Structure 1
Amino acid sequence: MITRRLLIIFGWVLFCSILATGQNDTLSSLRIKYINEIEINAPVYIQKLERWPGAVSMIDSLRILSGNRYQLSEQINTVPGVVMQQGTMSTNRITIRGVGSRTPYESNRIKAYWGEMPLTNGDGVTSIEDLSLSDISALQVLKGPSSALYGAGLGGVIFIDPWSSLLKDNTVQFKSEYGSFSTLSNQLSLKLKLNQSGFYSVSIGQLHTDGWRENSEYDRYNFTVKGRQLIGKSYLHFLYNFRYLNGQIPSSIDSTDFFEDPKKAAYTWKSIKGYEESNRHLANLGFSSPISSKANNVLNLFLNYSDLNELRPFNRLDETRSGLGLRNKFTYKNKGFRTDIGTELMWEQNDLAYYSVDAESKDELLNTNNINRSYINVFALVEYQLNDKWTFQGSGNINRTFYSTIENNSGEKYVHRYKWLVSPRLGINYNFYRQMYLYGSIGHGFSAPSVEEAQMPDASFNADIKAEEGMNIDFGYRFVSSDNQTRLDLTLYWMSLKNLLVTKRESDAVFYGFNAGSTDHKGLEFSFNQILFEIENYRQFDISVGYFTSLNEFREFNDDGTDFRGNKLPGIPDYSLSMDGHFYLKPFHLYANFKSFGQQYLNDANTKSYHGYNKTGAKLAIDIIIRNVKTNLYLGADNLFDTNYASMVLINAPSFGNNNPRYYYPGLPFNVYGGMSLRF
């Protein structure tokens, strides 16, 4: 079946390429300003996407505007090979090429950056869903092990551009949206441009929903300040984001409730009115200094602080986390040669306290724990463009990660140091005919166990636990028409992982990890973007298609004496299809999207599976300009056909007592939203 899919897609790819090549002269008068060269501050500089020797995907500002104002998962799920499952507003899991599917309630095994500031904490957990969509100008995804460039990101890395929307004239903008389940979003922002010497922005936002399930009310507030200032020949740039949220937790439900009454919350979470309340601060201060016409150095200091109060059926967690880091990158460019050399350091402290929730001993202190985490990455990248045809790239990363913890009931201190890990990567890109490119890469990646995985129930560290490691090989074909109106990408990949980390649960509150085997990930990723008409830099009609199919299997896997060798990995859809369209007939915009996810297994034994689902959405907007005031009004709907679907699944869901396993997080039913934007 997969072989047949490959042949069909490959044949269509060649046909579209040849057809688009022949149309270049006809369409040459309709130029598009596609984001073809990225000159913003970012962990990696990509001169031209078509010449990048590896798999890369882009989500531009138009795609971000195609849905409502708060669900980033809708945009992430248009990228082939990337799946963002959203259980609740604050419970999400992002997987890239199937990596990270075993993490129960969060995103692990990938990395993310907001500008040059890591959004991945010292424990390897990435949270991008708390950023307001107004703080995201564009998204860029590099897939596969990227440790040779960015440290512990076995699945890949996500770059969030906070800058490009800043480079505009002075504006004041107000946005407001109201939708089903009393969902209300408001944002006010001010952008200030001082000639070419400085750009500044301040924004404040609010989001509330009653939730469609029991015990799912949610509130979030965001405050963001960012800016870039020219000082002599250097740039000073800064980012700051504050986020407060208070959200109830409905948790997952069993199959009976999922099919018969998906509004229900899990009984134990509803009875205790489970919730999480937290504050988070992110700050980044950077200085970009030209050393000569060919050399530049960028130094970034970043810090984070958060506190969390979470009420669960088994205990209440009070957690404080603070971190400090540094990233320095030196760049040298000369004609077709470029090199980046640098280091990234992070230190993080985590203080946890657990309290009883039993009626007879409520708020009694059960245990406290103090955890310190730190890592060092030293990286280098060399890129050489031999001529107009060939681009070569080599890179490497050296990492060491340290954990220490003090279990305060006993006062014992435990220290764990992982061995130095070396991760190389090689890539090549060949422009073999006109605007057609072939590329390939091979690279090593790793992900260190989180503290929860490395730590045993008695608070000691498992001295034998190892980091997950993997090798990735991909080969691809890329076509970009000379007018940039047609873009097509086809990638085949194979990834082999070893030291697979598996979570062992003794109860809802007690779990730890151990290495249990190895896996193989094979797949195909395909994306196609076509702009059919454009007048005066406004896209009139464009379509985007993203598709991936994968086969992910246990090569060796033994859990408590049960051999799962040859079974499919749970939690990964066997395919994903995304189709998006945008039609503009001044002053109207029409957006439409369709998503389809295939079957996925729910447990390692492959005895339980979820059949997958299809979902459709649409949005109609109108632009109104009166003097200096630009107004945008819109009305949209999601899940038009009211599909009952699971927006997130919990693999290997435990079953305690006589209760059924709770595998399913129900997704939103049919819902509507409408809003407005005023810009002065």
Structure 2
Amino acid sequence: MRIVLTVVALLLSTIGFSQGQSYEKPDTLNSTQIMLDEVSINAPIRLGALQQWSGSFSLIDSLKMELGNSYQISNQLNSLPGVLMQQGTFNTSRITIRGIGSRTPYNSNRIKVYWGDIPLTDGDGVSSIEDIGFNDIHSIMVLKGPSSALYGAGLGGVILINPWTIQNNGYKHSLQSEVGSYGTFSNLISTSLKGKKGHTWLNVNHLQTDGYRDNSEYKRYNITLKGKYQLGKSYLHYLYNYRHLYGQIPSSLDSTDFYKQPTKAADSWAAIEGYEKSNRHILNVGLSSMLSPSVSHTINIFGITTSLDELRPFNRLDESKRSLGLRDKLTYQSKLFNIDGGIEAMLENNALSLFGVKEHSKGERLSENKIQRNYFNVFGLINYLPNSRLSLQTGFNLNLTNYSNTNYFTTQKTTHHYPLVFSPRAGASYQIFNHSNIYAALGHGFSPPSVEEAQMPDGSFNPDIKPEEGYHIDVGYRFVSKNNNTSAEITTYWMKMNNLLVTKRESEEVFYGVNAGATSHQGIEARLNHRVFINANTLTFNASYTQSLNTFDDFTDDGVNYQNNHLPGIPEYSLFIQTIFTTRSNTLQVNYRHNGMQYLNDSNSKRYKAFGVLNAKLNHTVKWNALKANIYLGANNLLNQHYASMLLINAPSFGNKPARYYYPGLPFNMYGGLSICI
């Protein structure tokens, strides 16, 4: 904590010194306004100003995407209050929003993710964003809590990734190459052409690394073709993406290895050189039309195919997944009302086989299943504006989810239909002063069990299992200064979750879920963004803070009562501080992230201490006619802190071996690169 106070004092003293010499530049086009403009164009919250949204949201604009290396989105997400992305390796991560999703061991669950109009959350509730290239991300909006209505009712919230950049007429070509520690190379190539009637983009990116740990080599290739074209009063848009990924899996470590040999891979995974190899195709075609001056219609059809080959110590997984979906939305706008309503549906077929482990080839087939998942959502949101200061919103989401599983070994077919779930939402925002708003929101959310959680070891579905569900309350205050140089927000929230899903393990590879209780999540989030001008230079200060209390209200597992215990895997608090000093041709960015203590298991008998990580980046810009070049050098973990970048809560222990809770974070590491834009 002493390090935290020292860093805070240094950064605040810098701000205080700068304010004494600052002056206001009139009519300055600033990054805050750019951010609001670019997000408003494609954002789901289509309000005259995001300032009036009756709920908590966070934004990552195109400028913030450049404030780290060119491939780790966790740097940006961890700057947001209430959002935590733990990343054990490039292909193993977990995103939680306000503590929701912390019980999922190896991926992100209980949230929804959209890339444009494409849901990246599969039928099993799993979301992945770490494999999208940075040149395919223009901005990100995070809506916290089950309060979006338009995008389902995920308990944690929604992450909306905007793939569409803004460009004047003409062409634009860019190349970025980066090299980093541990044999890391990143290349991003983008070209775009915009005419009077349309805009086309072609993006390619490549990432590879030898890895800090044994058995952690990683390679990824992405190519994206996308476009927007005007057809009379309508706009046609499309997006195609192909991604190839190969990543070795070092897995987590026990306490002894984590502290003494953090570079090693887990023994069982190293012995068989475990890996995952995956190919994915995404296609989305949409049409937006103005039916009248006040009514518009947007329809999107999307398809995703994924193949996966994963070698694990206990078996080898061969999986093929295909999904087809539709999203249809009708919008009405007037002076008093903004109304959105529509449907979203997806059908997913998943063929998976498990094989025994055999060197250089597949072993004996152990199982073969075909799983079909489908969901159907009806959604609506009404925004009523009785006057210029007051905004009242109400919305709903209606969900129907079904599963079926065919076991080709036993010729057994099982089906499961979850009850219809109605999730209402209500909120209000009031402008108390010209640049200040207070808001409050109440919403219901749910998350259905995954197939693995709903399915018993014998292959049958558990008829008694229920979706997790909860109610959520947000109350907050939001401020933006007249010149947009200062903005601040403070939010307090409370959530009550019921039907908590708990994983029961019979072995390392056999597990299932049961409903085992209820939890409470409450906390406070705050952020401050301030910018001052020093002659021709700019100094920006950003800070965010989250304090939360997450406890079991009613939870009994294997006869043990955990009531009033803390949920593991959620830091007591999170602090992020960043300063950016910009001159005509140079930018220096320094940030510090500190996470508080967190528990490792439900009994709270083990805990992981607080830690902090300090990062910096220096950028130099050269312009010559239409050519713009950036040369940059960055360093992460400047203080060489030994820490865990991801924790596996309630880690199982088999064969009298110690539990493996820890994924080691990178020690001090550097990167540097060059980007050229014409």
Q: Give the AA of the match of 1:526.
A: A
Give SS of 1:74's match. Answer: helix
Kept in 1: contact 2:148–2:158 (CA 8 A): no
Q: Residues 84-109 of structure 1: CA distance to partner in whole angstroms, max 9, x if unpaired?
A: 00010010100001000000000000
The amino acid across from 1:504 in the alignment is K
**1:6-405 alignment, distance < 5 Å:** 26=24, 28-32=26-30, 33-37=33-37, 38-146=39-147, 148-165=149-166, 169-195=170-196, 197-357=197-357, 363-405=363-405
Give, in whole Å, the separation in 2 of the partners of 1:456 and 1:394: 39
Aligned equivalent of 1:7: none
* Aligned residue identity for 1:580: Q
Which whole-Å CA distance do the structure 2 matches of 1:210 and 1:359 have between them?
A: 22
1:429/1:440 contact within 8 Å kept? yes
Q: 1:583, 1:589 within 8 Å by CA — same for their partners in 2?
A: yes
TM-superposed CA distance for 1:187, in Å, is 1.7
Match 1:623 to one of 621, 624, 637: 621
Q: AA paired with 1:134?
A: N
The answer to whether the 8 Å contact 2:276/2:308 transfers is yes
Residue 540 of structure 1: how far off its partner (Å):
2.0
Cα contact 1:34–1:484 (8 A) shared by 2? no
Counterpart CA distance in 2 for 1:66 and 1:456 is 46
Deviates further, 80-89 or 33-42: 33-42
- The answer on whether the counterparts of 2:242 and 2:282 sit within 8 Å (CA) in structure 1 is yes
Give the aligned partner of residue 571 of structure 1: 569
CA drift at 1:337:
1.1
| Structure 1 residue runs without a partner (length 5+) | 1-11
Q: Distance in 1 between matches of 2:342 and 2:95?
A: 28
- Does structure 1 retain, via aligned residues, the 8 Å contact 2:474–2:493? yes
CA contact (8 A) 1:148 1:444 kept: no
**Local SS of the residue matching 2:279:** strand
Q: CA deviation at 1:612?
A: 2.3
**What is aligned with 2:496?**
496
CA distance in 2, matches of 1:559, 1:259: 31
| Aligned equivalents of 1:255, 1:345: Cα separation in 2 | 45
Q: Matches of 2:136 and 2:182 in 1, distance apart?
A: 25
Q: Secondary structure at the match of 2:64?
A: helix
Q: Distance in 1 between matches of 2:598 and 2:528?
A: 25
Q: Give SS of 2:577's match.
A: strand
Residues in 2 aligned to 1:153 and 1:167: alpha-carbon distance in whole angstroms: 37
Alignment partner of 1:149: what SS? coil
1:554 equivalent in structure 2: 552
Over residues 596-637 of structure 1, what are the superposed CA-to-partner deviations in whole Å (9 max), with x where a residue is unaligned? 000110000000000021001111111111232211100100
Matches within 5 A, 1:518-597: 518-533=518-533, 540-597=538-595
Going from structure 1 to structure 2, the CA distance change for 1:241 and 1:406 (only over 3 Å counts) comes to: same
- State the shift of 1:347 in Å: 0.4
AA paired with 2:230?
A: L
1:660 aligned partner: 658
- Partners of 2:503 and 2:511 within 8 A in 1: yes
The separation in 2 between residues aligned to 1:265 and 1:168, in whole angstroms, is 51
Deviation at 1:149, TM superposition (A): 2.6
Q: Is the 8 A contact 1:487 1:529 kept in 2?
A: yes
> Contact 2:380–2:395 (CA<8 Å) still a contact in 1?
yes
> Offset of 1:146 from its aligned partner?
3.0
Q: Secondary structure at the residue paired with 2:363?
A: coil
Partner in structure 2 of residue 9 of structure 1: none
1:672 maps to 2:670: yes
- Structure 2 Cα separation of the partners of residues 275 and 355 of structure 1: 15
SS at match of 2:75: helix
CA contact (8 A) 1:221 1:244 kept: yes
- CA positional deviation for 1:436: 1.1
Aligned-pair identity in percent equals: 51
Letter in 2 for 1:486: T
Amino acid aligned to 1:422: F
Give secondary structure in 2 for the equivalent of 1:364: strand
Deviations 1:160-214 (A, max 9, x none): 111134566411111100010010011211111113x211100111101000100
SS in 1 for 2:357: coil
Q: Which residue of 1 aligns with 2:639?
A: 641
User: In the TM superposition, what is the alpha-carbon distance from 1:434 to its structure 2 partner?
Assistant: 2.2
Amino acid in the other structure paired with 2:602: D
Q: CA, structure 1 residues 359+334, in 2 after alignment: closer, same or farther (shift >3 Å)?
A: closer
Contact 1:60–1:137 at 8 Å: present in 2 too?
yes
Change (3 A) 1:507 1:666: same
Paired positions, count: 660
State which drifts further: 32-41 or 111-120.
Answer: 32-41
Contact kept in structure 1, 2:589 and 2:617, CA below 8 Å: yes
Instruction: Check whether the contact 2:576–2:594 (CA below 8 A) recurs between aligned residues.
Output: yes
Alpha-carbon offset, residue 359 of structure 1: 6.8
In 1, Cα distance between equivalents of 2:289 and 2:561: 56
Listed one character per residue, the Cα deviations across residues 288-338 of structure 1 (whole Å, up to 9, x for unaligned) are: 000011010000001100000000000000000000000000000011311
CA distance in 2 between counterparts of 1:342 and 1:252 reads 43
Letter in 2 for 1:432: I
Please report how far the alpha carbon of residue 36 of structure 1 lies from its aligned counterpart in structure 2 after TM superposition. 2.4
Structure 1 residue 557 displacement after superposition: 0.3
Shift in Å at residue 152 of structure 1? 4.4
Q: Deviations over 1:254-293 (max 9, x none)?
A: 0011111110110000000000000011111110000011
Residue 530 to residue 36, structure 1, CA distance change in 2 (3 Å): same
Q: TM-score, with normalisation over the residues of structure 1?
A: 0.94
What CA distance in whole angstroms lies between the structure 2 residues aligned with 1:127 and 1:165? 25
Task: Summarize deviations over 1:613-662 as a string: whole Å, max 9, x none.
Answer: 10011111111112322111001000001111000000000000121000
| DSSP-derived class of the 1:47 partner | coil
Distance 2:367 2:45 in 1: 42
Who is 1:611 aligned against? 609
Structure 2 alignment gaps of length 5 or more: 1-11
CA contact under 8 A between 2:641 and 2:667: conserved in structure 1?
yes
Other-structure match for 1:451: 451
Aligned twin of 1:468 = 468
Distance 1:166 1:405 in 2: 47
Residue 358 to residue 208, structure 1, CA distance change in 2 (3 Å): closer
Q: 1:624 to 1:116 in 2, by over 3 A?
A: same
Render the CA deviation track for 1:537-593: whole Å, top value 9, x for unaligned.
Answer: xx8221111110100000000101110000000000111111122111111111111
**Residues 241 and 281, structure 1, Cα contact 8 Å, conserved in 2:** yes
Cα distance in 2 between the residues matched to 1:281 and 1:556:
43
Contact 2:178–2:186 (CA<8 Å) still a contact in 1? Answer: yes
The CA distance in 1 between the partners of 2:395 and 2:26, in whole Å, is 37
- Do the aligned residues in 2 keep the contact of 1:31 with 1:483 (CA within 8 Å)? no
Amino acid paired to 2:261: D
CA distance in 2, matches of 1:623, 1:24: 24
SS of the residue 1:258 aligns to: helix
Q: Does the alignment pair 1:438 with 2:424?
A: no
Question: Residues 215-263 of structure 1, C-alpha deviation per residue, up to 9 Å, x if partnerless?
Answer: 0000000001111101111100111111101010000000011111110
Query: Which amino acid counterpart does residue 554 of structure 2 have in structure 1?
Result: E
Partner of 2:505: 505
Cα 1:526–1:109, aligned 2, differ >3 Å: closer, same or farther? same
Deviates more, 1:359-368 or 1:493-502: 359-368
- How far residue 358 of structure 1 moved from its aligned partner, in angstroms, is 5.3
User: In the TM superposition, what whole-angstrom CA distance separates every residue of 1:34-93 from its partner, at most 9, and x where no partner exists?
Assistant: 332444344443431211111011111111100000100010001100000001001010
Shift of 1:676: 0.3
- How much does 1:507 deviate? 0.8
